[in-house]
Amino acid sequence: MNRRGSHGRRQSEISESAAKAKDGMDEKLRDLGLERDDVLVTRETLGELEGDGTEEGCLEVVEAIERAEGVARETFERDGCVLKDIHGEGKEQAEGLQEGRESVERDVERIIGATGRINVRDNVRDLEQAREKALQDKDFLERHIVILDEAIRQSEADFSALRGQVYAQGGA
């Protein structure tokens, strides 16, 4: 950290941003679950029709239900794209935290190197405290990288499962 350079983000900002990303993924997955349900209900309804009315009436009913399923699938796809964007933003955030963690690791090495060259015991103690603070910062960054990575991985798996249900049997 160069005294003249900029400092990293505040820990509270990082925590809030990671929580916001996770909440955004969870919210979009809830929406996608509802949209998947709509697709399945319309598909099920279509399969349960008796179709003993007039030819024209039956055809119009089937077409309307198929349109409803198509709209539900389009909405699902649109929200799926939004979720993928949220994943991308989360990955970018995790990459930025990773870069910060690597920077802190380099700083720890510099502090360790400087500690070996210091002659006055009080200065050594201060450098050891600086090293300890840097290690705590590194641990904080690592925890938030893991939080983001796990949230993204779970969200991607959940989306894949929902997508498989939307496009399973008769949903192509």
pLDDT band for 7, please (50, 70, 90 cuts). low
Dist CA 100 CA 27 (whole Å): 28
Amino acid at 34: L
Query: Would you state the pLDDT for residue 8?
Result: 76
Contacts of 80 (CB under 8 A, 6+ apart): 32, 159, 163
Q: So where are the chain's domains?
A: 22-166
Q: Is 169 helix (H, G, I), strand (E, B) or coil?
A: coil
- Which has more pLDDT, 123 or 138? 138
Q: What is the pLDDT of residues 20-31, one digit of tens each?
A: 999 999 999 999
pLDDT digits (tens, 9 = 90+) for 44-86: 999 999 888 899 999 999 999 999 999 999 999 999 999 999 9
CB 68 within 8 A of CB 35: no
User: Is residue 4's pLDDT more than 50?
Assistant: no
pTM: 0.84
Would the pLDDT of 141 be above 50?
A: yes
